Amino acid sequence: MGDAANLQPEDLLRSTERVTDLNVVPTPGHSEDMFSEPHEFVRLRQHPGPVPVVTMAGHRAWLFVRHADVKAICADRRIGRSHANPEGAPRLWSAALMHARPGPANEMVDHERWRAVFGPTFSARSIELRERQVRARLDELLDDVVKRGTTADLSSELARPFALAVISDVIGLPLADRPLFAAWSDEMRHLRRREAAMATSAVVSERLDQLLDHKRQHSCDDLLSQVGTLAAQGAPLTRLQLIDGLKSIFLAGFDTVASRMEYGILYLFASSAGAASAVPEASKMPLMVEELIRTVVPGGSWIPRYALADVEYGATRIRRGDLVVLALQGANRDPAVFDEADTFRPDRSPNPHLGFGYGKFYCLGASLARLQLRIFFPTLFARLPGMALSPDCDPEVDIDSATGGLSRLMVTWSGSRYPQQ
Ligand code: HEM
């Protein structure tokens, strides 16, 4: 790999950072630390240019931490997601997410076609039309939660089922498949079980393939039906690319949203104003959602990329095929861009965070994620009056997951209200 190639392994260990050591999530049990950035990022931002690192998979990579650098890399067409040898490419982690794609000859053309096929379903206009359905999903789940008593695990009983229902509705997953897809997603995100993760990824592809055939006979208003029709009519993408696209959308659209809901609750409870008062009025919710996306970074928010050509960044030469890792967490707390970068300010504006990425790979589901988060917090506090973290609340961080999140978040409340019509 580029300039780091001359280093001996022992030098490398001394002179590079280990991404594992940097993978610091806020410690939910210690609310005074929740908003602080890991010191490593503060230090790494002083370092000019990319930092040579060893990834969680034990491979060498170049890490970018500053806001300006991360943005520049996102906009750079010489840095992409494909590799001439995907199986042998350096990896960020063992999870079956965001691994190298075959290429790089057609990467950008294929990607533009991919966005053209899947983009319209997730446009701001299409997502607006789903608001009623999304609200109904949350209300149904809250109805069940209040029927069960006055205490609940917000992670397993609300945030995850809500995010699962919404993305499954959009894709058109049958009800019986949804718990299976949720379990498959957990397996694919696992940081230390590579073979199981890859085997599960193949199972998911097989099931999506079957569902595409099924939807051709039973077409309805969902993404699987649209993609099934396209596949039959000769889409600009291969069937494999279409299936991979559906898989990415499910994986990218499930835990990402659930984990922001979970951490968002912790952030609100850490507010000195009190959690319920910290939820702003409806017109200000979009600002709070952006601030959550900026500050909440379960799992560190690492984005892997590959150099598609030899590239020079300042004094550093990055060679074709090298792994490049973008630390969104570092970029979103960069004091060169954000005043009081460690402070959660629900009314921050402007807020040029990179939490949904930037440029050609900008999050396809940003409008859907924003809609869910905008609805989730006010509805929750309105329907569960007096909600508080359970006295024995000890939120557990899912440290084995590439996307982070909490595996438990117990709350109690004093009464319940019906949904507002
Ligand atoms: C709060 C929740 C979410 C966050 C923080 C988030 C974050 C991101 C980020 C940072 C990227 C850029 C990755 C890169 O540059 O390589 C991305 C891409 C993507 N996201 Fe999201 N995302 C969220 C929710 C969703 C949802 C609900 C969907 C459902 C459709 C989704 C689908 C995607 C897809 C398909 C891509 C790849 C886009 C492409 O390759 O052009 N995301 N997301």
Q: What are phi and psi of 153, to 5 degrees?
A: -95, 105
- For the chain, helix (H) and strand (E) counts, in that order, are 17, 15
What pTM was computed for the model? 0.92
Q: Are 212 and 227 in contact (CB under 8 A)?
A: yes
Residue 54: pLDDT band (50, 70, 90) is confident
Ligand 1 pocket: which residues have CB below 6 Å?
115, 122, 167, 248-249, 252-253, 256-257, 260, 293, 303, 328, 355-357, 361, 363-365, 368-369
Can you list the domains of the chain with their CATH numbers?
Answer: 3-412 (1.10.630.10)
- 152, 160 in Cβ contact below 8 A? no
44-58, 80-94, 112-126: segment of lowest average pLDDT: 44-58
Shortest-distance Cα residue to atom 27 of ligand 1: 253
- Give the strand pairing for 302-307 and 323-327: antiparallel
Task: Give the whole-angstrom CA distance, residue 220 versus residue 84.
Answer: 39
How many whole angstroms separate alpha carbon 392 and alpha carbon 162? 24
Task: Show Cβ contacts of residue 386 under 8 Å, excluding neighbours closer than 6 positions.
Answer: 413, 414, 415
Position 3 scores a pLDDT of: 43
pLDDT in tens, 250-292: 999 999 999 899 989 988 887 777 777 888 888 999 999 999 9
Model confidence at 196: pLDDT above 80: yes
Within a 13 Å sphere around the CA of 188, how many CA atoms are in the beta-carbon half?
A: 25
Please give the Cα distance from 48 to 35 (Å, whole number): 25
- How confident is the model at residue 305, as a pLDDT? 96
Residue 147: its pLDDT value, please? 93
Determine the pLDDT at residue 37: 66
Among protein residues, the one whose CA lies closest to atom 35 of ligand 1: 249
Per-residue pLDDT of 384-409, as tens digits, reads: 999 999 887 777 777 777 777 787 89
Structure confidence at residue 33 as a pLDDT band (50, 70, 90):
very low
Q: List CB contacts of 156: < 8 A, sequence separation 6 or more.
A: 407, 408
Q: Are strands 60-64 and 51-54 parallel, antiparallel or unpaired?
A: antiparallel
| pLDDT > 90 in the chain, percent | 56
3-class DSSP state of 292 = helix
Provide φ and ψ at 26, rounded to 5°: -55, 145
The pLDDT assigned to 7 comes to 34
Count the Cβ atoms, other than its own, within 10 Å of residue 210.
11
User: Tell me, what's the pLDDT at 421?
Assistant: 55
